[in-house]
Amino acid sequence: MMAKTIKQIQQGLAQKKFSSVEITQHFLDRIDSHNSTINCFITVTGELALQQAKSADLVIARGEAQALTGIPLAHKDIFCTDGIKTSCASRMLDNFIAPYDATIIEKFKLGGAVMLGKTNMDEFAMGSSNENSFYGPVANPWDFERVPGGSSGGSAAAVAASLAPAATGTDTGGSIRQPAALCGISGIKPTYGRVSRYGMIAFGSSLDQGGPLAHSAEDCAILLQTMAGFDPRDSTSIDRAVPDYSEQLNADIKGLKIGLPKELFAEGLDSDVAKVIETAIQEYRRLGAEVVDIQLPNSNLAIPVYYVVAPAECSSNLSRFDGVRFGHRCDNPIDLEDLYKRSRAEGFGDEVKRRIMIGTYVLSAGYYDAYYLKAQQLRRLIKQDYEKAFEQVDVILCPVTPEVAFKQGAKTDDPVSMYLQDIYTLSLNLAGLPGISIPAGFSQQLPVGMQLIGNYFDESRLLNVAHQFQQVTDWHLKAPEVG
């Protein structure tokens, strides 16, 4: 059962090869055996999981099963979960028990899924390596001395190590796609507004989007089917019908136009990673797709624009964590100012403080127009580049990261070098476009991810193009030897 996909577990439950209780206990046992090494779970909800699994078995026995009934999943610890600690991997929320469910959690509960626990992450989703957690760094299952990518590194590592068959994540600047790439699994960031943000603790409100991480594009389609949809409780949610994401998976891609942006294959891309991506491109040519060179002339602006916009929104969103209403409060404050200062100084980690300071600065009087307003104007240019590109092609293909997973601690003293890890992913969040990362090969015995970018609300096509690649390759079937 260890490496089974969601699809295979669905079939096994339907055919009575095993029960939900048995498959759930299997994953709980693996978590118990390996989480101390990988550190991918903050909270394990074993008792609740088995209760949910028992209920699911009764539903299956009555012939009333839904697509995810009895399927064990893990959730990134950024989604509020009623009665369970929701920490965002921060000391600030180490004592916070959520009083309600995020819409995503609610949808999975209604769909009959089983919750294994809450996964580790970069604090408040700020990071590219999952080294910024109050609960310690997450290890990459392919090499425990390397990072799994961030901020959804706990979710990605849990799936890669087969401690969960799939998991939820969030993507503000690449935080689903990047850890999926570095851990050798599949992960999709949907169009902004496609998945509800209600109950998802905010980092950058105009950038954040929830999505699934799983072994295959097919599994991602199954999970996204439950996650997607309009939510009146979320003002950024789009009221648009949700298609059947699995329906088009097996459609022929002959004649499909794939765009290669020269700017995303330029200096800075590791040569071995580039070779892996080029081999994947040849595979698409064999499948009948047409490969076209395109331009994204403003792609070089993505990093400076993102690191103005995202910290500005972070500064605003995290102002609520002040030691007054909930979360960490310092001991014996002298006065209100002391309460604010020490609660925030003690509660937030270094990377969060860094981004709050940057964000507060760019929003301050005298600097707003020079930085934040200018960044939003440049953001529009990035979006327009993609709009022009999609007049020529159906999807865009590029790397996910410039290199494979790096050693833990290698970039912690160099924030700029760390930020450059997001160079190929940030622009999608700025434009609000969907993107998927799928395994494309290996370099230095470590996974390499390939990114496919689609037009707005074109997740079905992305999943189809990714699935077709996975039908003729086996990179997504490779798994690390974790035991």
pLDDT digits 0-9 by tens, 359-396: 999 999 888 999 999 999 999 999 999 999 999 999 99
- Digit-coded pLDDT (tens) for 112-165: 999 999 999 999 999 999 999 999 999 999 999 999 999 999 999 999 999 999
Task: Give residue 69's identity as a one-letter amino acid code.
Answer: T
Q: Catalytic: 175? A: yes
Mean pLDDT of 253-266: 96
* Domain assignments of the chain as residue spans, ordered by start: 6-255+436-449+457-477
pLDDT above 70: percentage of residues in the chain: 99
Q: Is a pLDDT exceeding 70 seen at residue 322?
A: yes
Per the CB < 8 A criterion, the answer to whether 41 and 35 are in contact is: yes
Strand 290-294 to 257-261 pairing: parallel
At 3 the pLDDT is: 67
CA distance 469 to 70: 29
At 1 the pLDDT is: 41
Catalytic residue, chosen from 19, 76, 128, 152, is 76
Closest Cα to residue 174, out of 195, 193, 198, 156?
156
Q: Is a pLDDT exceeding 90 seen at residue 65?
A: yes
Closest Cα to residue 64, out of 111, 17, 109, 20?
111
Closest Cα to residue 428, out of 253, 305, 278?
305
Q: Catalytic: 189? A: no
CA distance 466 to 284: 10
Read off the pLDDT band of 67 (50, 70, 90). very high
How far is CA 4 from its chain centroid?
21
Predicted TM-score (pTM) of the model is 0.96
At 52 the pLDDT is: 98
Mean pLDDT of 40-45: 98
| Number of Cβ atoms within 10 Å of the Cβ of 345 | 10
Mean pLDDT of 17-43: 97
Mean pLDDT of 235-251: 97
Q: Is a pLDDT exceeding 90 seen at residue 2?
A: no
At 483 the pLDDT is: 74
pLDDT above 90: percentage of residues in the chain: 95
CA distance 258 to 393: 6
pLDDT, mean over the chain: 96
Catalytic residue, chosen from 133, 175, 246, 299, is 175
CA distance 346 to 366: 30
Q: Is a pLDDT exceeding 60 seen at residue 337?
A: yes
Read off the pLDDT band of 438 (50, 70, 90). very high
Catalytic residue, chosen from 129, 151, 196, 246, is 151
CA distance 143 to 432: 33
Q: Is a pLDDT exceeding 70 seen at residue 263?
A: yes
Mean pLDDT of 38-52: 98
CA distance 102 to 113: 15
| Number of Cβ atoms within 10 Å of the Cβ of 358 | 18
Read off the pLDDT band of 262 (50, 70, 90). very high
Q: Is 71 exposed, middle or buried (0-12, 13-18, 19+ CB in 10 A)?
A: buried
Read off the pLDDT band of 414 (50, 70, 90). confident
- Digit-coded pLDDT (tens) for 288-318: 999 999 999 999 999 999 999 999 999 999 9
Per the CB < 8 A criterion, the answer to whether 461 and 395 are in contact is: yes
- Digit-coded pLDDT (tens) for 94-114: 999 999 999 999 999 999 999
Strand 290-294 to 41-44 pairing: unpaired
Q: Under CATH, which number does the domain 6-255+436-449+457-477 receive?
A: 3.90.1300.10
Q: Catalytic: 437? A: no
